[in-house]
């Protein structure tokens, strides 16, 4: 009697190298809350819905920020007057995007580095809106409509939130939670913590005798779980190029893409397709496969960019030369990662 050997076949870890974005063909333009649009953006609905609404709406669509939903129209126009909105222009296109740009910068780091309104618009033109939605209301009595769009301030808040997350990760890597984090409020169910020198606050467990490693680790877990619940992803299955089954986590919008990659990179469970590591020298994150890892010394186990290693060698050469010539060397200051720059 022959004996058959069965081999278990397991799916690869959840992950894909790309995600799908919904991007307007002509990009985004900045308009002000309260402006009237002749027709709704194509990202807001399909072509059939738009055609039906155009037959009903004769007086245009008032543009308002997403947070104005639920407000009385007149109250919303007054409350959010002048707020800048990102208005999509042109046909909506589904485009596959990489988790890293051409310079191997991860999406969340590229997002965190945005500093100006123009940079936000450029990023949106490349990747789409954060929430991936635009709501429309139509009034049959007034034959007018309202379109709710993402605001520039929405983006600024999310950028600072991601920057805060990166700062928390930096604090964890430096084991400096005792000095960089202070307790500003304590309740029965938890505490409120502030990163020194910033206005960034984060909720966490109640401290017993100050901020220790256990408290900080639990704070990190709660913080990231909260972001992942707000910007959800879902598991799914498909086929690869060879016809084998694959499993993946699919983000629901751009914000969930950003938070998923950041969380998985920090906790170490990201697949190689989207795994990023923080450079111990410059503080910026890069693609893990494109970075080097220290094997010995003070920074053993830490990652660094190849370009940072080259600059480090040049700096050492300058220092040795200055020492040989008996002259002082003015050290260059590293760029600091800033929160609250908006």
C-alpha span between 303 and 294 (Å, rounded)? 6
Per-residue confidence band for 240, with pLDDT thresholds at 50, 70 and 90 = confident
C-alpha span between 339 and 201 (Å, rounded)? 11
The predicted pLDDT at position 301 comes to 86
The predicted pLDDT at position 250 comes to 86
Greater confidence (242 vs 77) lies with 77
Is the CATH number 3.30.920 carried by domain 159-230? yes
Greater confidence (107 vs 48) lies with 107
The predicted pLDDT at position 334 comes to 47
Side-chain-facing half-sphere of 179: CA atoms under 13 Å: 4
Of the listed ranges 11-15, 132-136, 227-231, 281-285, the one predicted with least confidence = 11-15
Q: By percentage, how much of the chain surpasses pLDDT 70?
A: 80
Of the listed ranges 132-141, 159-168, 226-235, the one predicted with least confidence = 132-141
In this predicted model, what pLDDT tens digit does every residue of 27-52 receive, in sequence order? Answer: 999 999 999 988 888 765 444 354 44
**Cα-flanking dihedrals φ and ψ of residue 83, to 5°?**
-65, 140
**Do 188 and 177 touch, CB atoms closer than 8 A?**
no
Per-residue confidence band for 139, with pLDDT thresholds at 50, 70 and 90 = low
Helices 254-267 & 152-174 angle (0-180, nearest 10): 0
The predicted pLDDT at position 241 comes to 76
Strands 292-293, 303-304: pairing is: antiparallel
Dump strand ranges (E) for 102-214. Answer: 135-139, 144-149, 181-186, 191-195, 201-204
Domain boundaries, the chain: 18-150, 159-230
Residue 118: CB partners within 8 Å, gap ≥ 6?
Answer: none
Residue 128: CB partners within 8 Å, gap ≥ 6?
Answer: 21, 22, 23, 254
Hunting for tokens 């086929």 — which residue is that? 239
Greater confidence (101 vs 11) lies with 101
Per-residue confidence band for 277, with pLDDT thresholds at 50, 70 and 90 = very high
The predicted pLDDT at position 156 comes to 96
The predicted pLDDT at position 330 comes to 64
pTM value surpassing 0.85: no
Tell me the average pLDDT of the chain: 83
């Amino acid at each position: 009697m022959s004996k058959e050997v069965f081999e278990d076949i397991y799916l690869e870890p959840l992950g894909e190298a790309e995600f799908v974005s919904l991007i307007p063909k002509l990009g985004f333009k900045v308009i002000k809350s309260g402006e009237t649009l002749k027709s709704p953006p194509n990202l807001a609905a399909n072509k059939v819905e738009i055609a039906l609404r155009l037959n009903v709406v004769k007086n245009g669509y008032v543009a308002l920020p997403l947070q104005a939903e639920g407000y009385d129209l007149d109250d919303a126009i007054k409350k959010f007057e002048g707020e800048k909105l990102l208005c999509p222009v042109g046909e909506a296109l589904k485009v596959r995007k990489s988790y890293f740009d051409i310079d191997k910068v991860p999406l969340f780091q590229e997002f965190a580095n945005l500093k100006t309104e123009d940079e936000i618009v450029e990023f949106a033109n490349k990747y789409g809106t954060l929430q991936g939605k635009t709501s429309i209301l139509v009034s049959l009595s007034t034959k007018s409509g309202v379109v709710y769009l993402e605001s520039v301030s929405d983006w600024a808040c999310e950028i600072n939130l991601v920057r805060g997350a990166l700062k928390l990760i930096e604090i964890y890597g430096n084991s400096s939670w005792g000095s960089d984090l202070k307790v500003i409020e304590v309740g029965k169910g938890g505490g409120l913590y502030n990163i020194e020198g910033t206005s960034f606050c984060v909720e966490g467990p109640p401290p017993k005798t100050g901020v220790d490693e256990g408290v900080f680790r639990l704070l990190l877990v709660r913080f990231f779980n909260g972001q992942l619940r707000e910007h959800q992803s879902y598991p799914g299955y498909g086929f690869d190029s060879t016809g084998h089954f694959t499993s993946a986590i699919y983000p629901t919008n751009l914000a969930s893409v950003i938070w998923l990659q950041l969380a998985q990179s920090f906790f170490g469970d990201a697949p190689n397709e989207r795994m990023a590591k923080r450079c111990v020298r410059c503080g910026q994150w890069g693609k893990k496969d494109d970075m080097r890892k220290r094997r010995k010394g003070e920074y053993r186990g830490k990652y660094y960019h190849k370009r940072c290693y080259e600059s480090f060698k040049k700096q050492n050469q300058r220092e040795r030369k200055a020492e040989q010539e008996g002259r002082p060397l003015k050290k260059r200051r590293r760029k600091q990662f800033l929160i609250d720059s908006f």
